[in-house]
Chain A
Amino acid sequence: MSTMTIAKAINEGLRATLANDPKSFLMGEDIGSLGGVYRVTEGLKKEFGAHRVMDTPLAESGIIGTALGMALRGHRPICEIQFDGFVFPAFNQITTQLAKIHTRSDGQLSAPVVIRIPYGGGIGSIEHHSESPEALFAHTPGLRIITPSNANDAYWMIQQAVECKDPVIFFEPKRRYWLKGEVNTQESPGDPFKAHVVREGSDATLVAYGPLVPVALAAANAAAEDGHSVEVIDLRSISPIDFDTIEASVKKTGRLVVAHEAPTFGGIGGEISARISERCFYSLEAPAIRVGGFHMPYPVARVEEHYLPDIDRMLEALDRAFAY
């Protein structure tokens, strides 16, 4: 056991991958000597060489397209997209090429490419640096999407992403990069595509992922002061979604609230609400309620506190659920 930040945990996870898998390598913008704009890859170029930690030209489509080509040759590229809002030049390569190569080849080819993307807001940054585009990728069959909310998951899930035979988008909760936690480097937390119940409760189920998991836990603590027992689920995997774990929880609690930073319309919360409504119709005491961003481009930093779901927004949603 050791204590480290999420950024350091990802760094250590990448270090372990580079040491264990000679076919793996990192590629991205400014990830070498600089160590990435968030220093997540700090020290890795020095340790493994420029061959294993490649600074690329500033071309996102080029990063993903060449990564796919290298994967076809048997290599294991781990790409970094510098910020969430900058992934779109690569959207074509990710959705029309990377996601489809396995099925287009009738299962003969696979493209085990990992794409790391820092995502989410709350850091007071400028335009295109605070977005949550996960639903756009979740809608694309062929991709897997995971996101850690704590250091232990960050350490293990990045390694599990590289081991996966499918392309994996690894969303990193950038405003939690400096959140410290215990990391058990000896024992993995298991299947990266399974959700975890991180707080048990009996009156409502609150589902969150990535940067909002700590907020959800704080909201559950606050609700407890009002006498409500709220179960919190850390989704961990956005595609596939572990509906079984959510279903089991909602059948126990009878209420479901889903929270994410991305706009609620067409979002992951809507998908969870719909499927759980089908599975748990007779167990639900209230309709599933979503907490998320508004239907607007991510707003300027001076007003982002009004946009981002916080403890009060989650409590308000829980109150609505309890009112039925």
Chain B
Amino acid sequence: MLKKTTTLGVTTALALVMGASASFADTIKIAFIDPLSGPFASTGTNGLHQFEFAAEKLVNEKGGVLGGEMFEIVAFDNKISPKESLIQLQVAIDQGIRFIAQGNSSGVANALTEAVEKHNKRNPDSRVLFLNYAAVDPALTNDKCNFWHFRFDANADIKMDALTDVMAKDDSIKKVYIIGQDYSFGKAVADAAVANLGAKRPDVEIVGNELHPIGKVKDFTPYARKIVASGADAVITGNWGSDMLGLGKSVIENGYTGPIYTYYAAGSGITAAFGEQGKGTIRLIAQGEINPPATQEAADMYTAYKAKYPDGNIDQSRIFNVIDMLKLAIEDAGTADDVVAVATALEGMEYDSMWGGKVFMRPNDHQAIQDMHIHAHTDEGVTFDYDNSGFGLVTEETVKMAAMDSPSTCDMKRP
């Protein structure tokens, strides 16, 4: 038995060495730094699969970039800790990687963007770019912005801006209840909701604005009672994970029938768990149209993805935008080594996304401006469901190029 294991080990090691040496041949590496173990492992792993798939389909199968150079995604597990992320960033830089992708947790993104800025200042020969595909803290493209950071998702303020644009059109909404998790993101969502609703619909009454302890509430029934008792016509929440599901289910079960506007009430089992109950109630603000698929290319891509990962969802379609935009920028710059040239090509890029609409990388703060959609959780008209549940997100409303002229406090310093 021992001998067998040893042989197996040696073979694996050999295979790894050979694999590694094979990959030295002209690849452009992208470091994927996100949680691959621990409580958020499923989110991180799902993101990694989408990155690998996008690189394969959009770049490698089409002959690569710059006449045959391939994209390679190199995964680093940061255990969602900012400290660990900085170590992994250093490892990635030491391996000669020029592009860093990260998305889960704004805390990590804040640490990474600072570290990248410092590194690039001190080491002009090995500069790196930070491709942020999901961390939505507005500060990253405002006070803390820098030339090396690009955000491909809409930030929390833009999402709320688009969400309230749609809510403002609905005259039946008179009373709004805001509830969130008691930490920076929950507070940011609540503040943005109050500010936006106040500006767009001064007649709307905010009947509740509260934060609950994050990950500690066993039973959301008392909160649900307060929401029902307040007579709210709409609920806004930035909750995610089990806090999202617990709150949503409880509110629906206790007799609330209006819309619940959310940021993260889909995928990772949540869509399946809401099932029939969430129909007609759960709404979600996000980029990318899945149902109906925006283009034939997107539909084919989703079908191929499901063939490879039957249990997976494409729940972050912007990842495909990241890969394709990076590819175009590298081709435009004519090099993958000079990241200043690549960043300059990326700035101001207007990109036609297969998931619908345009993506415009705003040069003054490196915030992607794109169409935002209000999705409904339903089982009607669903081409691609989530969690193999028959339920999915169907586009209900679209805000074109959301928050195009929104102000930014970013003072971009270019090299």
Partners in one complex: no
B-side residues, CB < 8 A to A, are none
